Amino acid sequence: MLRFIFIAVVLVICYFTYISPLVNSMNNFIKDDKLQEHLGYFEAIKDIHIRSYEKAIAHIKIFMINYADTFHKKSDVLEKMKNHKYKIMKYLQELIYRIPNDNNLQHQLEYSRDYICNLFDNYIMEASDNLNEYYFPN
């Protein structure tokens, strides 16, 4: 009986230490209405180049998981976040380059890309503050 109580306590500690921050970061990603709105513009044209859209979404999810790791004071997380932000912008830019000649759509997508870039810069700045490192967005 004592063994089961010990295992239950260890599982609860593991949940609150490792799993809960991951769930919270993914909930922040899902609940951010402005981010979802701007990603919706890219989702509307994902048929143009579905690979770029899927890669961008995959890197956004990995970015948010790495953001959750900053609360555990891991040192290499900031570089990973910068790398994933770069890849997200690269894939979103690929989508913009592949749209047909539509100036209004291109302007809206560029605005959305810039908003997403600024949002991820804010996440990286917050993570760098958590890790007591300096980050200057470019």
Q: What is the pTM of this model?
A: 0.78
Q: What is the pLDDT of residue 55?
A: 95
Q: What is the pLDDT of residue 83?
A: 94
The tens digit of pLDDT for each residue in 63-100 reads 988 887 777 777 788 889 999 999 999 999 999 999 98
Q: Indicate the residue type of 62.
A: I
Distance of CA 76 to the CA centre of its chain: 16
Cα atoms in the Cβ-side hemisphere of radius 13 Å centred on 105:
14
Residue 129 neighbours by CB distance under 10 Å: 12
- Residue 20 banded pLDDT, cuts 50, 70, 90: confident
